[in-house]
């Protein structure tokens, strides 16, 4: 697998990190949040991207746009879904005084990182596609 370079997943966007952060709520509430599943889907999408093609400026424009139009857009969609889930679950958890602040902070951090990566991908595309022939 090619190195994603600046689009590498932040450690907070991993299932292991979420599993560690959700520890208490998983034991106490046994409520399915969908965050773990969303992280899994996003991770699979991230692995599907041909990073050499997307990061590079030597790929023909047609190939670059094809990579963006399929794998990168799917990854961005999964990142956006993850962010949305984090916001929704976090709003619900903040209403419950039994949910630790560390869990709500983790949800907020995951959502922010997902949004940042999605924006970085879109920005890279916008800048790079103009330079390709």
- Quick one: pLDDT at residue 27? 64
- Quick one: pLDDT at residue 73? 96
Q: How far apart are CA 34 and CA 13, in angstroms?
A: 14
Map tokens 């924006």 to a residue.
Answer: 119
- Quick one: pLDDT at residue 80? 98
Q: Spell out the domain ranges in the chain.
A: 33-129
- Quick one: pLDDT at residue 98? 82
Where b means 16+ CB within 10 Å and e means fewer, 100-132 reads beebbebbebbbebbbebbeebeebbeebeeee
**Per the structure block, which two tokens stand in for 132?**
């390709």
How would you write the pLDDT of the chain (133 residues) with one tens digit per residue?
566 778 999 999 999 999 888 866 666 667 788 999 999 999 999 999 998 888 876 678 888 899 999 999 999 999 999 999 999 999 988 898 888 888 899 999 999 999 999 999 999 998 888 887 7
- Quick one: pLDDT at residue 2? 61
**Per the structure block, which two tokens stand in for 42?**
């996003």
One DSSP character per residue, 54-96 reads HH-S-S-HHHHHHHIIIIIHHHHHHHHHHHHHHHHHHHHHHT-
Torsion, Cα 106 107 110 116, to 10 degrees, reads: -120
Residues 99 and 25: beta-carbon distance below 8 Å: yes
**Per the structure block, which two tokens stand in for 106?**
């983790």
């Amino acid at each position: 697998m090619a190195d994603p370079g600046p689009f590498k997943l932040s450690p907070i966007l991993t299932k292991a990190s979420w599993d560690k952060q959700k520890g208490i709520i998983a034991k106490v509430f046994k409520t399915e949040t969908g965050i773990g599943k969303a992280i899994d889907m996003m991770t699979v999408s991230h692995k599907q991207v041909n990073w050499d093609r997307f990061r590079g400026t030597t790929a023909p424009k047609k190939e670059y746009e094809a990579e963006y139009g399929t794998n990168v857009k799917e990854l961005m969609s999964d990142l956006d879904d993850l962010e949305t889930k984090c916001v929704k679950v976090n709003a619900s958890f903040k209403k419950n005084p039994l949910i630790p602040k560390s869990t709500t902070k983790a949800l907020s951090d995951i959502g922010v990182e997902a949004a940042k990566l999605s924006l970085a991908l879109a920005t890279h595309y916008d800048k790079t596609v103009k330079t390709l022939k």
